[in-house]
Structure 1
Amino acid sequence: MEIIEHIKNQYSFLSTQEQKVALAVIQKGSTIQHMGIEELAEELAVSNSTISRFVKKIGCKNFVDFKLRFNDHQNQVPVEGVQGMIDQDERTSVEIYQLYQTVITKTQEKIDQTDLEKLVKWIKESRRIFIYGLGSSGYTTEEFGQRLVRMGIQTITATESHMMLITSNIINRDDLVIGLSNSGNTNEVNRALNNARLNGARTAAITSAPDSLMTAASQLTLFVEDSIQFSNERFVNSQFAITYVIDILSMLLLEDDQYNWSMQKTVETIMHDKLNHPQN
């Protein structure tokens, strides 16, 4: 197993300071491979002993052994990508390609088909669907909401904190609330989920954080892989694993003839409008 993948697998068993080292190794490998232990400790504001404990926990004898294994990993320059073989200086597109593959694969491993089908059932049974998300999750919230509306499902989205709190207080047991957050620790969303649950509504979430407040506030949680934690520090797309799950939910809902008909009717209406009222 490659050392980077091994570090990811051991991440949850590391202490907070050791996790700091692990993230630096994963995200800044090309610079770290040339550092000594003291220089790395100073760079990360940790002790030499923290780094020593980290390398032993991931199965290396000492820091020298770690650097040898890590350098072997870093020296695997040729990468097979969608465009064929590329060199180190041109690997950005392939890194993103591989990241997407990894995150989707790991998300698929976390998906529970029973939970997916249960959430679809809840959506079908509910009078209204409320979807909450802030920041980047707000954009995903709007996308999810538009899909449900096009299927003829009464859906209300809230991407602003006050609106979440207002709507969560008028929700009742006939409604379903779905919270979206990669971290699972968006306070406004979690407060709204708790309010909705106190009012008798069903609550669900899509997040990458099993031990988060969002998970605690939700009766049903679909878990995804965190695309940010283990990716290159420049990579900013925290939503595509959540979008992948939304794609699955959408396809399962569209197996219903009524939802499928409504979606097709909506698409036809939009296309007809564009053809008859072209913009100048």
Structure 2
Amino acid sequence: MDQYEKTIIPLIESMYNSFTPIEKTIADFFIHNTQTIDFSSKNISRQLYVSEASLSRFAKKCGFKGYREFLFRYQQGFGENQPVITDDSAKQVLNTYQELLTKSYALLDEQQLDRIVHILSTKKRVYVYGRGSSGLVAQEMKLRFMRIGVNMESITDSHIMKMNSVLLDEDCAVIAISISGRTQEVMTSLRAAKTRGATTILMTSRREKEFQEFCDEILLFAVKEHLENGKAISPQFPILIMVDIFYSRFMELDTFHKEALHDYTMDILYGGR
């Protein structure tokens, strides 16, 4: 993926719901803009009918020191790898995949991946919560990580999520998967896990300030409009990208031992055939 540029568009999209109406106006411009123009604060404020101070506040809310730093990062990735939309349905799907791959690369946080790998390596038990499509990813995670020696369990039933809280302590980690960050059963159970002392990780496409109250790590994956409804492609796709990335990172630790465990597990499963 060396050919990809680090665009900040997915960062803006992940924070969209936390923006004020004025900030959403600014966000909409930078998300959907496809033209190279004068991006100075004076010109953009005039075009959007907002103050230059609003641009500065927006930039700081996105995590930058000011509008100048925000603009520098925006222009670095501007115009790179824009998906080409055609009338061919197959190409539209492939363009969507490409867009999500590019956004996933932009969202990668190497230090965070190392922290999550450390959590998976040190906790005695790991539970993955998810409903619907996210529940299918939870089951896939369980199967993959169990093969390399992680004591992982997937839970997709809301009642069992609630009951599971009594089993949690500081030796446990809970990974919750919710595209919207609003799946009530999953989010409530993640809060309960935090109160029990478990390490909590949220995999979501939305960055909300309230998540920091009960999440030790918030792992963002790429988002596409209406993705959670599965209208264009499976909503599992961007989640599985991130799972594959930190699975690969996890395998880098003691690779020989983990590959041996994986091979042994596969021999047990299929050796008798």
TM-score when normalising by structure 2: 0.67
Aligned length: 214
Query: What is the DSSP-based 3-state SS (H/G/I as helix, E as strand, rest coil) of the residue aligned with 2:271?
Result: helix
The whole-number CA distance in structure 2 between the counterparts of 1:232 and 1:144 is 22
Identity %: 25
Go from structure 1 to structure 2 and tell me whether the alpha carbon gap of 1:272 and 1:92 turns closer, same or farther (over 3 Å shift): same
Q: Is the 8 A contact 2:228 2:235 kept in 1?
A: no
Q: Distance in 1 between matches of 2:124 and 2:147?
A: 16
Q: Is the 8 A contact 1:227 1:238 kept in 2?
A: no
Deviations 1:111-135 (A, max 9, x none): 2110011000000000000110011
CA change 1:204–1:156 in 2 (3 A) is same
Matched, 1:245 2:245: no
Structure 1 Cα separation of the partners of residues 145 and 115 of structure 2: 16
- The structure having more radius of gyration, on CA atoms, is 1
On the 8 A contact 1:136/1:238 being kept in 2, the answer is: yes
Cα displacement string for residues 134-168 of structure 1 (whole angstroms, at most 9, x for unaligned residues) = 11100000001111111121111100101111112
* 1:114 equivalenced with 2:117 (yes/no): no
2:241 corresponds to 1:235: no
| Stretch moving more, 164-173 or 224-233 | 224-233
* Alignment partners' CA distance in 2, 1:134 and 1:122: 23
Specify the alignment match of 1:177 in structure 2. 174
Aligned residue in 2 for 1:145: 142
Report SS of the residue matched to 1:266. Answer: helix
- CA spacing shift, 1:230–1:182, aligned 2, 3 Å: closer
Q: RMSD in angstroms over aligned alpha carbons?
A: 3.6
Q: Secondary structure at the match of 2:174?
A: strand
CA distance in structure 1 between the partners assigned to 2:11 and 2:114 by the alignment: 29
2:264 aligned partner = 265
SS in 2 for 1:117: helix
Distance 1:264 1:95 in 2: 38
Distance across 2 between alignment mates of 1:112 and 1:152: 25
TM-score (norm 1): 0.66
Q: Distance in 2 between matches of 1:212 and 1:137?
A: 22
* Partner residue in 2 for 1:154: 151
Task: For structure 1, list consecutive stretches of 5 or more residues without a partner in the other structure.
Answer: 27-55, 59-79, 82-86, 276-280
For residue 105 of structure 1, report the CA deviation from its aligned partner.
1.0
Question: For structure 1, which segment, 166-175 or 261-270, has the greater mean C-alpha deviation from structure 2 after superposition?
Answer: 261-270
1:217-243 alpha-carbon deviations (Å, 9 max, x no partner): 211111111134479983152121110
Cα distance in 1, alignment partners of residues 271 and 11 from structure 2 = 51
What's the offset of the Cα at 1:269? 2.5
What one-letter code is carried by the residue in structure 2 that aligns with 1:106? Answer: K
Return the letter of the residue paired with 2:122.
E
CA contact (8 A) 1:182 1:208 kept: yes
Supply the distance in 1 between the matched residues of 2:267 and 2:217 (Cα, whole angstroms): 35
Of structures 1 and 2, the one with the larger relative CO (CA 8 A, separation 6+) is 2
Structure-to-structure mapping, 1:1-280, within 5 angstroms: 12=16, 15=21, 57=48, 88-89=86-87, 91-211=88-208, 214=211, 216-229=213-226, 234-255=231-252, 256=254, 257-273=256-272, 275=273
